[in-house]
Structure formats: C-alpha cells, structure tokens
Amino acid sequence: MAVSNIRYGEGVTKEIGMDLQNLGARRVCLMTDKNLSQLPPVNAVLNSLAKYGINFQMYDNVRVEPTDQSFLDAIRFAKKGEFDAYVAVGGGSVIDTCKAANLYASSPTSDFLDYVNAPIGKGKPVTVPLKPLIAVPTTAGTGSETTGVAIFDFKELKVKTGIASRAIKPTLGIIDPLHTLSMPERIVANSGFDVLCHALESYTALPYNMRSPCPSNPINRPAYQGSNPISDVWALHALRIVAKYLKRAIRNPEDHEARANMHLASAFAGIGFGNAGVHLCHGMSYPISGLVKTYKPKDYNVDHSLVPHGLSVVLTSPAVFAFTAQIHPERHLEAAEILGADIRTARIKDAGFILAETLRKFLFDLNVDDGLAAIGYSKADIPALVKGTLPQERVTKLSPRPQTEEDLSALFEASMKLY
Amino acid sequence: MAVSNIRYGEGVTKEIGMDLQNLGARRVCLMTDKNLSQLPPVNAVLNSLAKYGINFQMYDNVRVEPTDQSFLDAIRFAKKGEFDAYVAVGGGSVIDTCKAANLYASSPTSDFLDYVNAPIGKGKPVTVPLKPLIAVPTTAGTGSETTGVAIFDFKELKVKTGIASRAIKPTLGIIDPLHTLSMPERIVANSGFDVLCHALESYTALPYNMRSPCPSNPINRPAYQGSNPISDVWALHALRIVAKYLKRAIRNPEDHEARANMHLASAFAGIGFGNAGVHLCHGMSYPISGLVKTYKPKDYNVDHSLVPHGLSVVLTSPAVFAFTAQIHPERHLEAAEILGADIRTARIKDAGFILAETLRKFLFDLNVDDGLAAIGYSKADIPALVKGTLPQERVTKLSPRPQTEEDLSALFEASMKLY
C-alpha cells in the first residue's frame, strides 16, 4: 500500500507558498471552481502565493461532477500553460480534474482514452513523470487528496468512469479544517455519505488474497487491491468518526470539532479505499449520476441537473449491504454496531438486514431523499441503470459476492424507496 | 506524514527479483548479517534474484547493534560497488546499515558526521537522490522498513545516535511473515518490546501542535513531529496487537497467526513513531546499550557483549510512564487498559502507577531480566547513563513532561529493579 503525504491543522494552508518555493515551482496552475473562487479557501491560497511571490495562473472553470468535455477543457489550459506545479483547491471534482490536467499535460501526445480505465478506455500504465500536485480539499468526503483516482462523466456513453494510477496521486494533501466551515449543509451530508460508503465498501471488499487474476508481476497489480489488514485499520477508524461526528457536522456549521474530524475521516477513508477499493455502492452510483434527469439538489449552486456523488452512492447502500452480508457477516455486523445498532442479541445470519436497517435509520434521521424514486428514477429506468453498471467491473468485481444482471436489477429496485 | 510502500503476505519475498527488474536494477547490493546469510529469508531472496537473473553482490558483515565503524565498513563496500539498488534482509541493524550505505554512497564527498544527528553530528538535510532500497524485515520489532531513521553506536563517545531523514526511508518494505518463523524466543521477545515502546511512546509523545520551535518552513520540520491524529491510529492499533499476540508469538514459534500479526504490528508502530517520534524510553536506551559491560543475551549468536535494543528500551518503561503520566493521564490509562489492566474503578491520578504496574507484570510474565541491575548496571553507573542521555535531545524533547538531569537520575535508579 502507499499513502500520499498529508499535512493537517487549522490554518496550514498559509504555508502553501513555501511548499511551492521548496518545490522550485516557477509557473503554478491553480485550479478551482467558480463558487469556490470567491470563498475563503481560495483566498487563503492566493494570499500565500502572493506572500511568497509565486507566479501562477488560475483556472476556475472546473465543473462540479466533471465530464470528459470539462476534463478536456482543463487539459487544454494545462498544456498551454506549461506549468511546473499544480494546486487544486476544492472537492473531488476539482482535485480529480487537476489530476487529469497534470497527467495529459505531462503526456501531451497521448489520446484521452489512453489512460481511461478499460474497458471504456485503454487503461495504459502511466510511465511519464508528472509535475507535483498539492491538493487542498474543501469538502469532507472524496478523499481524493490521498488517492490515484480521477472520476468523470463520459457524456457520449452516459456513464461515469475514470483514470486510476498511483502516478496521479497528489504529492501533498493539505487538510485544513478551516475550509470545511464554509460548506453548506447538504454538501456536508453528501460528502459525508461518500466517506461512509468508502469505509463500508473497503471494509467489506473482497480480501486482497482472494482476488483473481493476481498479476504475477507486482507492477501490474491494480490500485484497488481488495480489503487488507492495513486498509481495514483506516476503514474502521473512519467509520467510527462518521458515527460520532457526521450528524453533528451536518447540523452545526460552528461545530469545529465535528467538521475537523470529518475532514480527517475523509482522508483516512481515502487511504483505506485508495488501497482496498470500493465495490457495489460505487459501481452502481456511476449510472445513477450519469443518467440524471432533472434532479437539482439543495445547496449546490450549479446550472445543470446533477446527483451529488455522495448521494448517488449512499442511496443503494441498504440494499447493497443486505446483499453482500452473506459473505462476511461478522464484518457487516461490526459495522452496524459502530453505526449504533444494538447487536447484543443479534444473529449472525441477520447481519445484512441489521446493517441495512441501521443505514436506513441513519439516512432518515439526516433527511436524505427517499430512495432513487425521490431523485427521479422509476422501474422503467432499471435496465439502463444496470447497463451503466456493467462497465464498472473495475470496482464491482471487488464485491465480496459476485452479482448477475438480475442481482443488479434487484438491488436498484430495492433502492427505489428506502423508508 | 508519509508512509513507505509496504507489501504484506506469506511468500511475497519471492517477487523481489521482479521488483528489482521493474526498477531497472543492474547491480544490486544485498546486505544481511552472518547469521541470517545461512537462513531461509536470505535464501528466499537469493532464489528470486537467481530466477530473474539479477546481478548482485552480497555484504553479510553487518554488525548486530551497529557502530560507526561497522557503518563505515558497509559504506566502503557500497561506494566500491557502484550499486543502482539495495536490498536489506534482516532486523533493524541490517536495514539501518543499508540505509547509511545507500546514503553515503550516493553522497560520496560527504563526511560521515555531515548527516549524523546534531549535536553529535551536523544534521545536514539530505538533498542528493538516493538509490532504491527494498527492506525485508526478519524480526518483528524495529519497523525500520517504514522509517527514515538509522541508529548506530558511536564508539568514541560511548553513545547511540543516528541519522534521521525522510530521504533514507526504504522504497518498499516486504513484510513476509514466513521470515519470523525462524526467530529464536528472546529475539521475538526483545523485538516485540521495541514495538510495545514505539506504540506507547508515540501515543504519549508531546502533541504535534505543542512542539517548539516549530520551523516556519515545512521543509525544515523534523521527521519526528510529535503525537498527532494519524500516528495515534497506528500506535493504538499496534498496541492492541501487542496485547493480543506478543506472548503467543514468544511462546510458540509455530503460531503463524501470532507471529504474522506481530510482524505487521512492527510496521504499524513504525509508521506511527516514524511520524510522531519516541521519547524517554528510547532516549535513555541509547546509553544503556552503549555502555554495556559484559551482558550477553540468550539467543543472540554474537561475539561481543550487547544489550538488545528492545530490552534496553523496555527496562525503563515502568519508571518512564509513571513519570510522564502527569501530562496525559487519560492516554496512559487507556494504554494500561489495552494491555489488560482493569480500570473500571481506577482514578485518573493513578494512571502512571497503573500503567507502570501493568508493564511490570507483562515483563515478569515474559521472564524479562529484573531491571538494569540484572544486566550489569549499578547505582555508580547512573551519572554516566544520564550523561549519555543528554545528547539524545532529538527524542527526549518529545517527552510530554520536561525532565532535568535529576529526573533522569531518578528514572534510571527506579529502573534498577523491576519486580
């Protein structure tokens, strides 16, 4: 396993100018989105760049839930700028876009599909050296500052896919909990659900020593290796923090302790799933986001319909864990207990049911939309949702329980209504 | 914080030839010690090098508890060989020696003292690029495969000191629990005590945000940063494994589960203390080892007197934690509980006493020598032991409670007899 460097503390963003000086950076690309460009996290970075006299160009055109087109726009900017370092200030959308910009600007003759995950793209290994990238996360969810993954919406195929390579992992993640104080309520909730599912999925993923095929040469092993004794530590620790702090972080923007802990939990869960992988909640979430109709979530200031990533992931979680618990029931029961279930008299064979009920209650208490139906899907959409899940084999194959198309249909159907 | 790559699993050593091929290595330096050179871990590496046609030279002259002279001998070998990659197979002595050899062979015009920790050496930052180093630990204690530290005995000054820089951290640690099956009983015990103290010291170390001076430029921050929310996760997790498995691992060489878990705990604790640091047990251990008289421990096949590192560290632990508990009593109490103490009716002000008693019982059960007196020290040696501790400021300053020379005297005196 591998972990990026991270630096944690209130106010540590102000050191970023020095970090760039230490890296010898002379032309920095600062990436963010239009909303953030006016907010304190970007201001803190701009102040530090000014203080240390760092020459930079700002790109604030990142799309929330990026697409191939929005990636390509950022890549064009990066190629033209001939930058020697990158700074990404934002949530997963910004950090992922910046990873892609750095990658393709460092490999200018590559086709876009070269590095996109197979079977959609060619999934080529990255062998070119990239420029340093410092990620400053402003949400508490993606963990993108710790992973080698960049996810986007492939418009033509109406499906989410991504690029996965250790080579695109940020050089440094600056985790400054001050940045989370400006997050609106639903963004805290949805990004927190992403942490919750990263932890639950990586803890229940197929164990690393049961994965097949296992490439004989270590260099060909995937970034997502299956659950293992190291990722387990991170997953459980992140889950405990979610159980303790997510509700508080959502309800009270002034609760520094809760928001700081969720910010760290996001990185912890990222280190866990960045090595172990995720499985069905994530695999099924990509078509849920990709096929969005007219849903516009509260608190997201965007001009297009979107299902926030964390929401698209968590809505299937009760059905998914009821389905997977057959394989590692004790881990499912342990997760339910951490999330507050009383398991003293529980039977191990009910582990899936108990975790599902615990999740439903957790989501209900947090006013989460009542299932896929509430965000605009109906039974008639299930075949398309299943079709959109099939190319996500990179993650779905890490489900501890193999699944047929019928199984996927049933999981989507069971997720139409939660309460 | 930063973590090396580690790979874990029974038999994964057989891939090392491929790893070296992937690194493009053409001339490999294989370092080990005379005992190990005949044992299965080295054989496994040799077989893999042969299978993948890797050209190498073996250096098996590493000294257990290395000295400046033994480091210099290895450095001469490394300089002469013009190697492009290093493999260290052994315990902390071998891995540390290999780190030093790689460093000075990569910086051939440097004086030996240039990189040695201040105030003994000049403590210069490492700016030269080093060659890849793959560490294959054969003990379950040092965690050296995960840290940027190399410790040696400075004969002239009769004191242990070291080199500390992120730059010397191994590129990859191969944690193959098969290698621990050949460890004799006392080596399991003593290396396990090192894990125990890494965990206890890093969990109770001065918090990262109370350390001073705090260099304003991040590049000048020390490798040992004080306890922090990330190192805490590793320290506690390692401590739980020690509590569950150390006794089993010592008593039964066939207990694969226990030995494998201690092997991982060693790396986990290493990641923790490699970022947080250690404090008084380690600071005081260096003169205890450095001033050794005639003590020759069971199970160590060497021709010189030595106090094994783990033993020199653990003998002062009851006195040290009774002393430091004033500052974070709740952490001391939590550690005692993990190690088996019943704290239901404990008073927080007794935390130090309770942890000390818990440690005494733990050591008594494991037949550990009864204090410093049992390994050849008397009251008359205390001034020299204190004098040898003073230059260890790099670690002693991480003690949560500051200490005078009188305090150190009292700690050594309280450690003369344990039971």
Q: Where is A256: in which H helix or E strand?
A: helix A256-276
Give start-end residues of each CATH 3.40.50.1970 domain in chain A.
Answer: 5-179
Least confident of A145-159, B65-79, B123-137: A145-159
Asked whether the beta carbons of A272 and A223 are under 8 A apart, the reply is no
Backbone angles phi, psi at B411, to 5 degrees: -65, -40
Sign of CA dihedral B48, A274, A36, A172: negative
- Residue B327 CA to residue B206 CA, distance in Å, equals 9
Long-range contacts of B301-307 (CB under 8 A, 24+ apart): B301/B35, B302/B64, B306/B64, B306/B65, B307/B375
Give start-end residues of each CATH 1.20.1090.10 domain in chain B.
Answer: 184-414
Backbone angles phi, psi at A19, to 5 degrees: -55, -40
- Residue B280 CA to residue B401 CA, distance in Å, equals 10
pLDDT digits over B325-376, tens only? 999 999 999 999 999 999 999 999 999 999 999 999 999 999 999 999 999 9
Of B19, B218, B233, the CB nearest to A18: B218
User: In chain B, which among 256-285 make CB contacts under 8 A with chain A?
Assistant: 264, 268
Peptide bond into A170 cis (omega under 30): no
How would you label B99-120 residue by residue, b for 16+ Cβ within 10 Å and e otherwise?
A: bbbbbbbbbeeeeeebbbbeeb
Per DSSP, the three-state class of B151 is strand
CATH architecture group of domain A5-179? 3-Layer(aba) Sandwich (3.40)
When pLDDT is averaged across residues B96-116 and rounded to a whole number, the result is 97
Q: What local confidence, expressed as pLDDT, does residue B4 receive?
A: 54
* B9 contacts A218? CB cut-off 8 A: no
Please give the residue that has the higher pLDDT: either A102 or B166: A102
Q: For residue B238, which residues of chain A lie inside 8 Å, CB to CB?
A: none
* B1 contacts A229? CB cut-off 8 A: no
The tally of CA atoms less than 13 A away on the side-chain side of residue B229 is: 18
Which of A233, A263, A266 to substitute to test the interface with B, most B CBs within 10 Å?
A233
Q: What angle, rounded to 10 degrees, do the helices at A405-414 and A280-290 form?
A: 70
* Partner A contacted by B237 (CB < 8 A): yes
Average pLDDT of each block of 10 consecutive residues along chain A (419 residues)? 71 94 94 93 96 97 94 98 97 96 97 92 90 94 90 84 90 93 91 97 94 78 86 94 96 92 93 92 94 91 89 98 96 97 95 98 96 97 95 91 97 97
Of B3, B22, B268, the CB nearest to A3: B3
Per DSSP, the three-state class of A86 is strand
Amino acid at B93: S
Q: For residue B228, which residues of chain A lie inside 8 Å, CB to CB?
A: 8
CA angle A415, A416, A417 (to 5 degrees): 90
- Residue B201 CA to residue B238 CA, distance in Å, equals 12
Written as six digits, the tokens of A184 are: 């609106």
Backbone angles phi, psi at A142, to 5 degrees: -65, -35
What is the Rg, in whole angstroms, of the alpha carbon atoms belonging to chain A?
A: 20
pLDDT digits over B32-46, tens only? 999 999 999 999 999
Backbone angles phi, psi at B5, to 5 degrees: -70, 135
**How sure is the predictor about B1, in pLDDT bands with cuts at 50, 70 and 90?**
very low
* Partner B contacted by A14 (CB < 8 A): no
Q: What local confidence, expressed as pLDDT, does residue B2 receive?
A: 43
- Residue A79 CA to residue A200 CA, distance in Å, equals 38
Closest CA to A223 of A182, A139, A166, A293: A166
Q: Give the residue ranges of DSSP H helices in B228-302.
A: 229-251, 256-276, 280-290
The position carrying tokens 């005692």 is B336
CA angle A218, B36, B155 (to 5 degrees): 110
* Partner B contacted by A228 (CB < 8 A): yes
- Residue A307 CA to residue A409 CA, distance in Å, equals 20
* Partner B contacted by A128 (CB < 8 A): no
How would you label A99-134 residue by residue, b for 16+ Cβ within 10 Å and e otherwise?
A: bbbbbbbbbeeeeeebbbbeebbebeebeeebbbbb
* Partner A contacted by B1 (CB < 8 A): yes
Q: What local confidence, expressed as pLDDT, does residue B214 receive?
A: 75
Asked whether the beta carbons of B96 and B67 are under 8 A apart, the reply is no
**How sure is the predictor about B52, in pLDDT bands with cuts at 50, 70 and 90?**
very high
- Residue B419 CA to residue B406 CA, distance in Å, equals 23
* A18 contacts B216? CB cut-off 8 A: yes
* Partner A contacted by B233 (CB < 8 A): yes
CATH superfamily of A184-414: Dehydroquinate synthase-like - alpha domain (1.20.1090.10)
- Residue A414 CA to residue B15 CA, distance in Å, equals 45
State the smallest CA–CA distance between residue A122 and chain B in angstroms: 21
Of A9, A22, A209, the CB nearest to B9: A209
Of A8, A208, A218, the CB nearest to B19: A218
Sign of CA dihedral B251, B257, B259, B264: negative
Residue B136 above 50 pLDDT? yes
Distances (CA, A) of A269 to A196, A278, A308, B84, B135: 8, 11, 18, 36, 27
* B218 contacts A22? CB cut-off 8 A: yes
